[in-house]
Structure 1
Amino acid sequence: MTTKSTLALKPGLIALMALMAATRFHHFGTPFALPDASLAIFFLAGLWLGGRYLFAILLAEAGLIDYLAITKLGVSDFCVSQAYVFLIPTYAAMWLGGKWCRQFETQTPTALAQQFIALVVATSSAFLLSNGSFYILSGRYPEGNWTQYIERFAMYYPPYMTSTLIYGVLIFAVVNAAKSLISHKTPQQTI
């Protein structure tokens, strides 16, 4: 990686980090706050940025935001339990899904469909890791059973998937449109 490409990555990382900072306070959003974009951020960072250090930076940011939200802003700590550590493999699933998509250098309909499927599979895997570990390890469901888990799955999976897909597709489209405009921009002639 050249110095030029390293410098080109920084604005993208800063933009993704700013989006996480702006949205991480509410999983599914409220009338006054957007839903959490963290899953899409990890996927897109894996796709465009890569590097385990950047993964660690995003993990640290997520943990810091959660800490500040709970201790300083009065956000509920209901989701913080022994299962919290499973957010690492949850976000790794997203990161690796994005990283896998790097092989698609062209924007053909087939490649785009494969990337979309990878986003769905990564998000589903992430949901099973985070939701399953919370259900089993949090202590919030001591009398838990499969029926109860399936009910909770049905309640939380659709918004989990929907917000991730919306963020992922929207950001991907905006970035690719911007790249296309920049690459097709003709240099201005000087007299």
Structure 2
Amino acid sequence: MTATSQRLFVLSVLALLMAASRAHVFDHFSPPDASWAVFFVAGFALRGWGRWVFPLLMALAMGIDWMVISRQAASFWDHYCVSAAYWGLVPAYGLLWAGGSWLRGRYTGASAAQAGRLLGAFLVAVVACQFIAQGTFYWYSGVVAEPTVAGWWKNFLDWLPGYMGTAAAYTAIATTLQVTAERVAPALRLDRTQAAR
């Protein structure tokens, strides 16, 4: 499998995961929304493809939202979750992508030091994403009748653990797969070399 085909496979898996899970935001029957982890992992795994993959994943996320809301016989722009603040998801998800991409640029293989970098990049990216996504919704959606800094801060802290926990679970799975692939691939190459002798 070539490097390009591997990356296309990863992109396909991430897109399917987001498609399967994003409806959870609206219908509660899907697995928890993997969108935050998808953008972080995509930034890592697909670094260098951001000019076309990031917009593609954003279009997919918005398309899923439109489809789910339309199935509820509701107007997309009149839905509770969609307002002028909805566009805040673009920079918010961009920060997740940037966190994964930053990590990839410094990645040298599985190690304790890399685990520390992963944790740092993940925490900064998720907190920054929540700051933008939740902040734009709180201040600009029109849902909060009388917004205050104290109310915003409480809302930020109330929602952050859930989003972080879900993104962490999916990212941990992706990390396990990455480390496993790094450890298994050399062993497979060695087996093939020995078998050819």
TM over 0.5: yes
SS at match of 2:2: helix
TM-score, length-scaled by structure 1 = 0.90
Gaps of 5+ in 1: none
1:85 is matched with: 87
Cα offset for 1:29? 8.6
Cα distance change on mapping 1:33 and 1:121 into 2, 3 Å: same
1:58 is matched with: 57
SS at match of 1:189: helix
Are the equivalent residues in 2 in contact too, given 1:23–1:33 (CA < 8 A)? yes
RMSD of aligned Cα (Å): 2.2
Cα offset for 1:189? 2.5
Matches within 5 A, 1:1-191: 4-27=2-25, 30=28, 32-50=29-47, 51=49, 52-73=51-72, 77-102=79-104, 103-185=106-188, 186-187=191-192, 189=195
TM-score, length-scaled by structure 2 = 0.87
Percent identical among aligned pairs is 31
Opposite residue 37 of structure 1, the aligned amino acid is A
Cα offset for 1:147? 2.4
Q: Following superposition, which runs of at least 4 residues in structure 1 exceed 3 angstroms of deviation? A: 27-30, 73-76
Cα offset for 1:87? 0.5
Distance between the aligned counterparts of 1:62 and 1:168, measured in 2?
Answer: 18
Gaps of 5+ in 2: none
Are the equivalent residues in 2 in contact too, given 1:29–1:36 (CA < 8 A)? no
Q: Residues 135-169 of structure 1: CA distance to partner in whole angstroms, max 9, x if unpaired? A: 01000113111222222223211101111111111
Are the equivalent residues in 2 in contact too, given 1:120–1:165 (CA < 8 A)? no
Distance between the aligned counterparts of 2:186 and 2:33, measured in 1?
Answer: 32
Count of matched residue pairs: 188
Higher helix share goes to which structure? 2
Cα distance change on mapping 1:151 and 1:28 into 2, 3 Å: farther
Are the equivalent residues in 2 in contact too, given 1:28–1:159 (CA < 8 A)? no
